[in-house]
Amino acid sequence: MITLGIETSCDETACGVVKNGRILSDVVATSVSLHRPYGGIVPEIASRCQIEFITGVSKEAIKKAGISLRDLDLIAVTYGPGLAGSLLVGVSFAKALSLALSIPFIGVRHLDAHIYINFVKSKPSSRRPRFPFIGLVVSGGHTSIFLCRGAGDFKILGNTQDDAVGEAFDKVAKILNLGYPGGPVIEKYARASRGKLIDFPRTFLGKDSLDFSFSGVKTAVLYYMKGKRLTRGLIADVARSFQESVFDVIIKKTMMAAEKFKISTVAAGGGVAANKMFRDMMKKACLVSGRSLFIPEKKYCLDNGAMVAALGEALYGNDACSGLDLTVETNLGAMVK
């Protein structure tokens, strides 16, 4: 079975082709440089770029996969959560292609796809997660923990109450005058830190809560920096301390969820999972607690079309195909059972 995955939920226009759980191609275009002067995503610019990029990106994905459009059996597309204007481009494109090729299409949830990429095998011998497992999405728009019981059966256990962790990276980078997006540049500075750790607050929202809040740590960084001169050493120490405080909370809560539901496997995804400190801390926590961990290689942590295709392929057959009435959803709340 050959599936084309289309991902247009934010500023990336991504298409990937997956054949029976193996990636044949993965092409990503981004409008990130156009948002940089504004310090964050401008939805109007993002959706206009989606329209400009989608035809070229999809053609390139088909070409790189070494197939023709007529070889496709299925189209999978992200229908939410995300920016309405951006999502509409991908969903409308998928509908048109499905009609033109007379093949089915499936709308998938962006967050499930971030987790589901862990099922894609780079080698025939690669390990794959086994249900049930705890799924964690750490991205620019979300920080969510799921109990994953099967493809299409991801139950949300915890979610951020304010900023997503990637958003907190972006806001802290702004405070430190590092530009947008914040994740990679904060990671770079954090690696150079040789000073003492600053004790930024860790917000747990109660002993048993699996929800998150990152607005406090962002404000703490803002107050800490007031009146201080921005030296490379200070930026590096703040970056490392910030990273450690948010990752500590995320990992403790993920382990709490695994403990609560007696689960021995964790699968993570989302842009922030590309961060080396996150990967190292997560590996250590899983090793210590005897759990197996799945994290995609770095490029597949970020938004991509292959993750959408992989999930679509898994959902196909479960009566999961969408109709032309499929609409887009901007909020995760409207999409969870």
- Eight-state DSSP code of residue 195: S
Long-range contact pairs involving 39-45 (C-beta distance under 8 Å, separation at least 24): 39/170, 39/174, 39/179, 39/180, 40/170, 40/180, 41/10, 41/11, 41/83, 43/83, 43/84, 43/85, 43/86, 44/85
Cβ-based nearer residue to ligand KG4, 106 or 117: 117
Q: Between the CA atoms of 264, 270, 274 and 276, what dihedral angle is there, to the nearest 10 degrees? A: -50
Q: Is 328 in the site for ligand KG4 (CB under 6 A)?
A: no
Q: Which of 66, 150, 184, 317 binds ligand KG4 (CB under 6 A)?
A: 184
- Distance between CA atoms of 40 and 174, rounded to whole angstroms? 10
Instruction: Tell me the one-letter amino acid at 151.
Output: A
Q: Which of 65, 136, 302, 306 binds ligand KG4 (CB under 6 A)?
A: 302
**CB 319, min distance to ligand KG4, A:** 27
- Residue 142 tokens, joined: 């979300």
Q: Is 307 in the site for ligand KG4 (CB under 6 A)?
A: no
* Residues whose CB is less than 8 angstroms from the CB of residue 78 and which lie 6 or more positions away in sequence, other chains included: 6, 7, 8, 9, 87, 90, 107, 108, 109, 110, 113, 308
Q: Is 5 in the site for ligand KG4 (CB under 6 A)?
A: no
- Distance between CA atoms of 332 and 4, rounded to whole angstroms? 24
Task: Classify burial at 14, counting beta carbons within 10 Å of its beta carbon; exposed 0-12, middle 13-18, buried 19 or more.
Answer: buried
| Residue corresponding to tokens 């201080």 | 228
- Residue 266 tokens, joined: 């964790």
Are 143 and 161 a contacting pair, CB within 8 Å? Answer: no
Instruction: Tell me the one-letter amino acid at 108.
Output: V
Cβ-based nearer residue to ligand KG4, 72 or 249: 249
How many residues sit close enough to ligand KG4 to count as binding (CB under 6 A)?
Answer: 19
Q: Is 118 in the site for ligand KG4 (CB under 6 A)?
A: no
Q: Is 181 in the site for ligand KG4 (CB under 6 A)?
A: yes
- Using CB distances below 5 to 8 A depending on partner kind, what does residue 182 bind out of Zn ion, ligand KG4, none? ligand KG4
Which of 41-49, 137-145, 244-252, 319-327 is the region at the interface with ligand KG4 (rule: CB under 6 A)? 137-145
Cβ-based nearer residue to Zn ion, 139 or 243: 139
Cβ-based nearer residue to ligand KG4, 235 or 302: 302
- Distance between CA atoms of 110 and 116, rounded to whole angstroms? 10
Q: Which of 26, 112, 170, 211 binds ligand KG4 (CB under 6 A)?
A: 170
Q: Is 6 in the site for ligand KG4 (CB under 6 A)?
A: no
| Polymer length in residues for the chain | 337
**CB 270, min distance to Zn ion, A:** 6
Which of 132-140, 161-169, 179-187, 239-247 is the region at the interface with Zn ion (rule: CB under 5 A)? 132-140
Q: Which of residues 65-84 bind Zn ion (CB under 5 A)?
A: none
Which of 162-170, 233-241, 276-284, 303-311 is the region at the interface with Zn ion (rule: CB under 5 A)? 303-311
**CB 271, min distance to Zn ion, A:** 6
- Using CB distances below 5 to 8 A depending on partner kind, what does residue 193 bind out of Zn ion, ligand KG4, none? none
Instruction: Tell me the one-letter amino acid at 197.
Output: L
**CB 188, min distance to ligand KG4, A:** 8
Q: Which of residues 261-300 bind Zn ion (CB under 5 A)?
A: none
Q: Is 139 in the site for Zn ion (CB under 5 A)?
A: yes
Q: Is 271 in the site for ligand KG4 (CB under 6 A)?
A: yes
Helices 276-289 and 232-260: crossing angle, nearest 10°? Answer: 30
Are 205 and 161 a contacting pair, CB within 8 Å? Answer: yes
Q: Which of 90, 270, 296, 305 binds ligand KG4 (CB under 6 A)?
A: 270
Residues near Zn ion (CB under 5 A)? 139, 303
* Residues binding ligand KG4 (CB under 6 A): 10, 139-141, 166, 169-170, 181-184, 187, 270-272, 274-275, 302-303
